[in-house]
Chains A and B, each alone.
Chain A
Amino acid sequence: MEATIEANAYDNRGWIRHGGRKLSDYFVFNTDHKVIGIQYMVVAFIFFIIGGLLAETMRTELAAPGTQFVGGSSYNQLFTLHGTIMIFLWIIPAFVGLANYAVPLMLGANDMAFPKLNAFSFWLTIPGAILLIASFFVGGAESGWTAYPPLSLQTPAGQTLWAIALQFIGFASIFSAINFLVTIFNMRAPGMTLMRMPLLAWSMIATSIIIILGTPVLSAALAMLTVERLLGANFFSGGVGGDPLMWQNLFWFYSHPAVYIMILPGFGIISEVIPVFSRKPIFGYKLIAFSSLAIAIFGFLVWAHHMFTSGMDPFLRVPFMITSMIIAVPTGVKIFSWLATIWGGKLRFTTPMMFALAFISMFVIGGISGVFLASVPIDIHVQDTYFVVAHLHYVLFGGSVMAIYAGVYFWYPKITGRMYSERMGKLHFWMNFIGFNITFLPQHVLGLQGMPRRVADYAPEFMLWNLVSTLGSFLLAASTLPFLWTAVASLFKGKPAGNNPWRSLTLDWTVTSPPPIHNYPVPPVVTSDPYGYGERTIVQPPVPVPAPSGGGGD
């Protein structure tokens, strides 16, 4: 098996390889999904570093009570920009980048369904990103990433730029979601039925559905906010005929499902990494696939759990509590399925596998605290406190970011043709894992004890855990260095990876590393799902002559 896959190497056929691209290709409007994937990932990572530096500034300020060097509106601008960047310019585009690179390859497709639209989506993100950074310099948005009016109507001009920036990024996201859906429906290799797709494709279907139905609602809300700020319409302002709760309803109608936009691709990546390094088929394929759809659908019925303490109709809180709690069921199904996949396997602790296991471990904590927050009475106490900050970072850092790292290490050999350094990868992992927990675990306690979120100053009794959290965050920030080191150095010094260093069964590993510019000259024919570990009784069909077998069977 191993041998036949390696035998498919295209090296000697003289095709221009993806790895043979010029550096300049990555700076222009290029329609190759692999180039766009890398563009997304690199830009997202740059913003991860910017957002991280903003976070470190805040944590440094919070190391001791009192206002040391950032307070008042500057502090508010910091967390507004931090939240907005991490969500819209790091996690979402990083996943789009990974999926852009991997999904067409995994489906046996040569590109996305609309390559030009794909490039357009990426290049639409850039002006959005520039506007967002620019907003910081014209007074800055300072009403949090949630931008609740009337506060967001009071704040300076940067808030308008902020809203327009998100409009750009939102539409980029919508166009790429359309692209993913059409690609996954229409571009599958012959024989790849929906139930033979890699699970990453399933999670991208769910993600894209959420983006298509949710993001436009944010767009509409942002448009209203912009019109209200610029032309003086009365949508949201309190007291003069506006309805501040309408913003919250519209905003969370998007922004709660957006949480699933940020975690479902992670579920997909974990579902790819775990079977490969456990050498076992994924446990309960159908249930994992359908639970993604269930999360996408239920995700639209839970938004008001962010508003339990607001002035919403008190009775309506009960149905929203129930739907919110129900989300735990499909999520739990995934966790148990991954545990069952690992159970009895032959685990190989590569860096991506370690990140994947850490993902399960950390995401469970975020999931449990999520159920707490769904319970109205508990939420009445912990809403808008550091408990929420801890919860969302366990989900979005312990979950999404760990999954992004797992995906980046997993596909690094495919993308670059070289292996990363396991030593650096493990160093990165342990610094990241330990730093993360020291930073965010104490924040649960802070919130329960009475520390609200989004404050530059706090009562002296919260000093100890804040200091611990700040020290942890320094370790967390430092953990990025070994990653950067191996990500760059291994481009030049890494061992050649070969087509399939992980002995994975998905189609992406049948092409060369890096893949040829044109992925599959002859469409591969698929006869089963790609998780048949331990069932490898049948090998490759004979290689057709003279055309290359573009990956052969599945």
Chain B
Amino acid sequence: MSHGISHNGEHETSPSTFDNTGKLAAILIGVISAVAGLLMYWFNPLLNNAASLQGTYIDDLFGVAMGIGTAVFFMVQGLLLYSIIRFHRQADDDEDGPPIRGNTKLEIVWTVVPALVIIFLGILSYQVLVAAERPDPDELIVEVRGFQYAWQFYYPDYDITTSEMHLPVDRPARLKLRSNDVIHAFWVPAFRIKKDVMPDRVTETFITPIEEGTYPIVCAELCGAAHSAMRSQVVVESDSSFKQWVSGQGAAVARASEAAETDPMAQGRQVFNQNGCNACHVLADAGAVGQVGPTLNNIGAEAGAMVPGQAPEDYIHAAIVDPNKFVVEGYPANVMPSNYGTTISEADLKALVDYLMAQK
């Protein structure tokens, strides 16, 4: 092995490989990178048209990051490709390259410049963060409940509970999120807003929708077997249609409590839909189209045949509170939450069983 130069210090008179061709190439790569970065920033093709005010801030920030990222990408790949093409060893050349061990100036530059870029991006991110989470006195409060595997929305101003979210366009909304069981994450990709839904604390997030339309709500934190089915939607509409929707919902609640006296099934249907059963099961009467668990359209007739000797209502009750004992063939175990016995009240449970018994 070579003794070589006995220390690692930089050579004062190191041979240069930075000839005119190299300089030209470096400049060219720099220009291409800058142009590519600017184009990427300008068009921001991967993320734009957010449907919320916060989303537009995030998209703009993403555009800046994407521009910088693209420039860095082109620079590194360009230098790499250029080196691969130009500094290819000739077949008969067994000599070593020039013994250049470093260049203090260059090393300072590529430590300091990235640091400055990072600081710039950090400050920008901070500003966007502050702007995106700014409360507003006029905001609409929505209390979001997540549970395996459905969403529920409560509007304290109007005292209505729904399984679909509605927001008036251009009015700031503050979401207060809470989970009944495990951690979920409330995500509306079109709003660019995501917040974890915790079982032990209320989390908050801010949304100002700016674009009317219907957008998916997605659970983004793994929450169990039917995680991918835990979806809902948010409807952004004009203030007047929102008010109309609210009064419709209020009327529906009133109707339901009225109907409860005349229609014994109404309470059971409500329990079915509000506890997320509809997310996983098909049940025509409740308008449920979930694809995870068995279809329940005919459960009242089928239940008696499931376990020999067991009364159908006992079977349904047991299958709700201890689902793993009665996994229907062809469906996986451990999918259905096993805590309904504690989360649904005795009366509601009875209403639910009666309701399901009536499905024939």
Check whether chain A touches chain B (CB < 8 angstroms).
yes
Contact of B201 among A284, A286, A311, A317 (CB under 8 A): A311
Q: Is A328 an interface position by the 8 A CB rule?
A: yes
Q: Which residues of A contact B141 (CB under 8 A)?
A: none
Question: Do A314 and B133 touch (CB < 8 A)?
Answer: yes
Q: Hey, which chain B residues are within 8 Å of A333, CB to CB?
A: 107, 110-111, 114
Q: Are A244 and B199 in contact (CB under 8 A)?
A: yes
The smallest C-beta distance from A369 to any residue of chain B, in angstroms, reads 8
Taken together as a complex, chains A and B put the C-alpha atoms of A452 and B77 apart, in Å, by: 30
B265 at the interface (CB under 8 A from A): no
Chain A residues closer than 8 Å to B87, beta-carbon distance: 278, 342-347
Question: Taking the nearest CB of chain B, how far is it from the CB of A264, in angstroms?
Answer: 18
> Once bound together, how far apart are the Cα atoms of A310 and B203, in whole Å?
8
Could you tell me the distance between the alpha carbons of A530 and B111 in the complex, rounded to whole angstroms?
25
Tell me whether A279 is interfacial, beta carbon within 8 Å.
yes
With A325-B121, A376-B125 already in contact, the answer to whether A72 and B225 are too (CB < 8 A) is yes
Within 8 A of A (CB), among B6-34: 6-8, 17-18, 22
CB distance from A535 to the nearest CB of B (A): 4
Q: Does A13 contact B (CB under 8 A)?
A: no
Q: Is A482 an interface residue (CB 8 A)?
A: no
B193 at the interface (CB under 8 A from A): yes
Q: Tell me which residues across on chain A come within 8 A of B194, comparing CB atoms.
A: 309, 380-381, 383-384
Q: By the criterion CB–CB under 8 Å, are B199 and A538 in contact?
A: no
Specify which of A317, A505, A536 lies most central, judged by the most chain B CB atoms within 10 Å of its CB: A536
Whether B61 and A378, one on each chain, are in contact in the complex, defined by CB atoms closer than 8 angstroms, is yes
A385 to B181, CA, bound (A): 22
Contact partner, A377, options B3, B6, B125, Cβ 8 Å:
B125
Contacts of B96 in A (CB 8 A): 279-280, 346, 533-534, 536
Whether B222 is near chain A, meaning CB under 8 Å from some CB there, is yes
In chain B between 51 and 108, which residues have their CB closer than 8 angstroms to a CB of chain A?
A: 55, 57-58, 61-62, 65-66, 69, 72-73, 76-77, 79-80, 83-84, 87-90, 93, 95-103, 106-107
Would you call B225 and A73 a contact (CB within 8 A)?
Answer: yes
Q: A381 near B95 (CB under 8 angstroms)? A: no
Q: Does B139 contact A (CB under 8 A)?
A: no
Chain B residue at minimal CB-CB distance from A140: B334
Contact partner of B228 (CB less than 8 A), chosen from A325, A372, A448, A456, is A456
Whether A424 is near chain B, meaning CB under 8 Å from some CB there, is no
Contacts of B72 in A (CB 8 A): 364, 368
Name the contact of A536 in the complex, choosing from B4, B47, B133 (C-beta under 8 A).
B4
Q: Is B129 an interface residue (CB 8 A)?
A: yes
Min distance, Cβ B196 to any Cβ of chain A, angstroms? 4
Contact check, A321 vs B224: say whether CB atoms are below 8 A apart.
no
B22 / chain A contacts, CB cutoff of 8 Å? 343-344
| Measured CA separation A326–B179 after assembly (Å) | 34
1/0 per position for B108-137, CB-CB distance to A under 8 A? Answer: 001100110010011001101100110000
- Shortest C-beta distance, A319 to chain B (Å), equals 10
B332 interface residue, CB < 8 Å from A?
yes
Taking the complex as formed, is A115 at the interface, i.e. its CB lies under 8 A from any CB of chain B? Answer: no
Residues of A within 8 A of B79 (CB): 339, 343
Q: Could you say which of B62, B128, B132, B332 contacts A73, with CB atoms under 8 Å apart?
A: B332
Q: Which among B2, B65, B225 is the interface contact of A378 at CB below 8 angstroms?
A: B65
- Measured in the bound complex, the distance between the Cα atoms of B334 and A151 in whole Å is 12
Q: How far is the CB of A309 from chain B (nearest CB, A)?
A: 5
8 Å CB interface, A104-158 against B: 139, 142-144, 148, 150-151, 154-156
Check A348–B2 contact: CB distance below 8 A: no
Across-interface contacts of A335 in B (CB, < 8 A): 76
Cβ B183 vs Cβ A151 within 8 A: yes
Question: In the assembled complex, how far is the CB of residue A36 from the closest CB belonging to chain B, in whole angstroms?
Answer: 27
Q: List the A residue with the shortest CB-CB distance to B82.
A: A343
Query: Can you sample 30 A-B contacts with CB below 8 Å?
Result: A1-B1, A73-B333, A142-B334, A148-B183, A150-B181, A150-B199, A151-B224, A238-B198, A245-B198, A318-B126, A321-B122, A329-B111, A332-B111, A340-B100, A346-B90, A346-B97, A349-B88, A357-B84, A371-B121, A375-B121, A375-B125, A376-B126, A378-B62, A380-B193, A448-B47, A450-B216, A450-B218, A452-B228, A538-B2, A553-B2
Given contacts A279-B89, A318-B129, A339-B83, 6 further A-B pairs with CB under 8 A are A72-B225, A73-B334, A343-B18, A344-B18, A347-B89, A377-B129
Nearest 3 CB-CB pairings of A with B: A344-B17, A238-B199, A532-B4
Chain A residues at the B interface, C-beta cutoff of 8 Å: 1, 5, 67, 71-74, 76, 139, 142-144, 148, 150-151, 154-156, 195, 238-239, 242-245, 278-287, 309-311, 314, 317-318, 321-322, 325-326, 328-329, 332-333, 335-337, 339-340, 342-349, 357, 360-361, 364-365, 368-369, 371-372, 375-378, 380-381, 383-385, 444-445, 448-450, 452-459, 505, 507, 510, 527-540, 551-554
